[in-house]
Amino acid sequence: MIVSRTPLSTRLWAAAIWVLVGFFVLNLAGLIGSVVTSSFATRWLGTWLPAGFTTKWYFAAWDEFQLGDVLWVTFQVVGSVVALAGLFGVPAAYALARRDFPGKKAVLLLLLLPLLVPPVTYGIPLATVLYKSGLGGSLAGVILANLVPTVPFVVLVMIPFIEQIDPRIESAARVFGANTLKVFIYVLVPILLPGVLAALLLVLVRTIAMFELTFLVAGPGSQTLVVALYYAVFAAGVRAVQSIDAMAVIYMVTTLVWLIIALRFVNPTQIVARAKRSNT
Amino acid sequence: MTAASSAARDSGPTLAQRLRIRGLDGVTLLVVPCVLLAIALFVYPFFYGLWLSFQPKNGGAALTNYQRFFTEPFLSKTIWTTLRLALPVTLLNLFLAVPIAFRVRLMKRQRLLTTILVLPITLGTVLIAEGMLFYFGPQGWLTRTLMWLGVISQPLHVVHTYWGVFLSLVIAIFPFTFLLTLSYVTGIDPSLEQAAATLGASPAARFREIFLPLLLPGLAITFCLSFVQAFSVLPSAVLVGDPANTTRVISIAAYQAAFEEYDYSLASAIAMIMGAVQLMVVVVVLGGRTLLYRGPVAAAKG
């Protein structure tokens, strides 16, 4: 689009924006690079690069923070949240996309509110309720708390996706005698699968990174990786800083792998554009 | 299952037909589990918290907690502290995101750059905080580079100040703001711009007259969704901020009341005030939106 006839001011403006992007990316790389370098460092005081490199901090972090347990808890929480969010969210999105019923606006508002209210605001009353009912600090409590923002997220992402599927495909299946179950298994599941996978991958990344809610609800045995990392940084001083960094790198790699998988399936701009249209 | 339950509920075909005309049938019932879940996990705790906030821990009038919040500067100041962080961060992110999104829109291979810019989403505020302690610290690479270049003679005081939290929030929230903005920008029909260009409008005029009016409603929503994230800042305010003083945000106050003083009543009151302030900002921004143009921005997309 940009041809050589573009005026100087436009080119200067473009250059300024690229410098800005470069500056942001450079600092980001430096920030991540410091943590990664430190996690492999033997001793790093007052120099550009550490004195030597080692992988021992990864083993130290694994033992010190019981990372095996923490990763298992994270896996259980994230797996359950993803499955339940899909189970609750997708059928509701289907109903909201296909039917116009009285009170639909109220339902949409009910689902939009958890995304518009800061997690700490409903997290504290929710934590109180969960502790009262004996679920506070347990794995189930953490899973329930994480469902609050993720189910509405799945619904709002899926509604526009379902709306763009021609309802005549389902009608055609019904004309040929398929009942609801058969329509669901042979028609809807194959068509919806890409959208559902995309939404659930985003839920997965969100849940791994969800700090506030998990932090408020989790007990000693139900901390996910991000909360364990927070406590490690918060109570730093007693432990070698490198082993905390090793843990941070493990956390980053865990999320990064899933994000890259998600981005292979989803065009990030489109998924937000779809979510956007449902919000307006 | 749903078909059976709807059949059981409807007493006769006429009622079922009447309901179906209004949009109520087996498919509609699929929304019920989701609504029940939202009521159990969001609405009920919310009202429970509201009720609890009127039941002070040590007895007294119903509004004791709210009175305490607004009379003790240690508590009431947190609203201002939070807004002073969240509003500039959100605005700066928007001002950065719009021009970058306009550049990225013209690129053939957007995917790589988008992925790099979205990367901080995976880091989470905790890792960003940890990285900032290193990178901006007195022995960090940034300080070293700047001192080597002779730009500064003393190490920067970024970490454990207001600016530490500010920067960490900019890094953490920018990807989200950028993605939303990019999707709004790419959603605008390019032929509108071409038409303006054909008629001789300069790039600045095209932005001002064509894009900005179309973009503002979307930017208002982007502002709200980004603001929620900045407003509930907790980990970075503690880890890279000055949590006793200039970055004692409202969520720290709520957390301390709940889990250090075990005063759930006061904590709920603070949470309610927090939600109210947040929603007020959203209402002001979205209320302003109704004054703007609302309508199709792309011929093919509607």
Q: Is residue A131 domain-shared with residue A264, that is, in the same domain?
A: yes
Q: Is residue A27 domain-shared with residue A62, that is, in the same domain?
A: no
Q: State the pLDDT at residue B120.
A: 80
Q: Is residue A219 domain-shared with residue A208, that is, in the same domain?
A: yes
Dihedral angle computed from the Cα positions of residues A250, B158, B174 and B76, in that order, rounded to the nearest 10 degrees: 110
Residue A218: helix, strand or coil by DSSP? strand
Mean pLDDT of B35-50: 91
Instruction: Decide if A122 touches B, using CB distance below 8 A.
Output: yes
Instruction: Decide if A180 touches B, using CB distance below 8 A.
Output: yes
Closest partner CB to B124 (pick from A18, A20, A211): A211
Q: Is residue A50 domain-shared with residue A60, that is, in the same domain?
A: no
Q: Is residue A239 domain-shared with residue A275, that is, in the same domain?
A: yes
* Test mutation, A115, A120, A188, A231, chain B, max B CBs within 10 A: A120
CATH class of B62-289: mainly alpha
Any idea which of A61-65, A147-151, B273-277 has the lowest mean pLDDT?
A: A61-65
Residue A273 has pLDDT above 60, yes or no: no
Q: Is residue A21 domain-shared with residue A88, that is, in the same domain?
A: no
Any idea which of A32-41, A131-140, A267-276, B88-97 has the lowest mean pLDDT?
A: A267-276
Closest partner CB to B126 (pick from A17, A127, A226): A226
Residue A235 has pLDDT above 90, yes or no: no
Instruction: Decide if B113 touches A, using CB distance below 8 A.
Output: yes
Helix runs in chain B, H state only: 2-9, 13-21, 31-38, 44-53, 64-71, 73-105, 110-118, 120-135, 141-149, 162-186, 190-198, 203-206, 212-231, 235-239, 250-259, 264-289
Q: State the pLDDT at residue B87.
A: 93
Mean pLDDT of chain B: 82
Closest partner CB to B139 (pick from A46, A110, A151): A46
Give the end of a domain, one of A9, A35, A54: A54
Domain chopping of chain B, boundaries: 1-53, 62-289
Range of the domain at A77: 56-279
Model confidence pLDDT, tens digit, residues A158-203: 887 788 788 888 888 888 888 878 887 888 888 888 788 878 887 8
Q: State the pLDDT at residue B301.
A: 40
Model confidence pLDDT, tens digit, residues A137-153: 889 999 999 999 999 98
Q: Is residue A69 domain-shared with residue A36, that is, in the same domain?
A: no
A chain contacts of residue B45, beta-carbon cutoff 8 Å = 122, 125-126, 128-129
Do B103 and A145 count as a contact with CB atoms less than 8 A apart?
no
Are residues A61 and A225 in contact, defined by beta-carbon separation less than 8 angstroms?
Answer: no
Give the end of a domain, one of A9, A36, A54: A54
* Test mutation, B5, B111, B127, B132, chain A, max A CBs within 10 A: B127
| Confidence band of B295 (pLDDT split at 50, 70, 90) | low
A positions 54-113 inside 8 Å of B (CB):
88-89, 91-92, 94-96, 98-102, 104, 107, 110-111, 113
Q: State the pLDDT at residue A276.
A: 40
User: What is the interface pTM, i.e. ipTM, of the complex?
Assistant: 0.80
Do B142 and A27 count as a contact with CB atoms less than 8 A apart?
yes
The residue type of A100 is: D
Rounded-to-integer distance, Cα A265 and Cα A195, Å? 9
Q: Is residue A30 domain-shared with residue A92, that is, in the same domain?
A: no
Q: Closest residue of A to B2, CA-based?
A: A180
Do A234 and B115 count as a contact with CB atoms less than 8 A apart?
no
Closest partner CB to B123 (pick from A110, A252, A280): A252
Q: Is residue A49 domain-shared with residue A60, that is, in the same domain?
A: no
Residue B6 has pLDDT above 70, yes or no: no
DSSP letters, B29-89, are: GGHHHHHHHHIIIIIHHHHHHHHHHTS-TT---TTHHHHHHHH-HHHHHHHHHHHHHHHHH
Do B31 and A91 count as a contact with CB atoms less than 8 A apart?
yes
Residue B65 has pLDDT above 90, yes or no: no
Q: Closest residue of A to B103, CA-based?
A: A14
Instruction: Decide if B55 touches A, using CB distance below 8 A.
Output: no
* Test mutation, B41, B89, B225, chain A, max A CBs within 10 A: B41
Q: Is residue A148 domain-shared with residue A221, that is, in the same domain?
A: yes
Q: Is residue A27 domain-shared with residue A135, that is, in the same domain?
A: no
Q: Closest residue of B to A33, CA-based?
A: B131
B positions 170-209 inside 8 Å of A (CB):
171, 174, 179-180, 182-184, 186-187, 203
Q: How many inter-chain contacts (A to B, CB under 8 Å) are there?
A: 275
Give the end of a domain, one of A10, A38, A54: A54
Q: What is the number of structural domains in chain A?
A: 2
Q: Is residue A82 domain-shared with residue A125, that is, in the same domain?
A: yes
Mean pLDDT of A114-141: 87
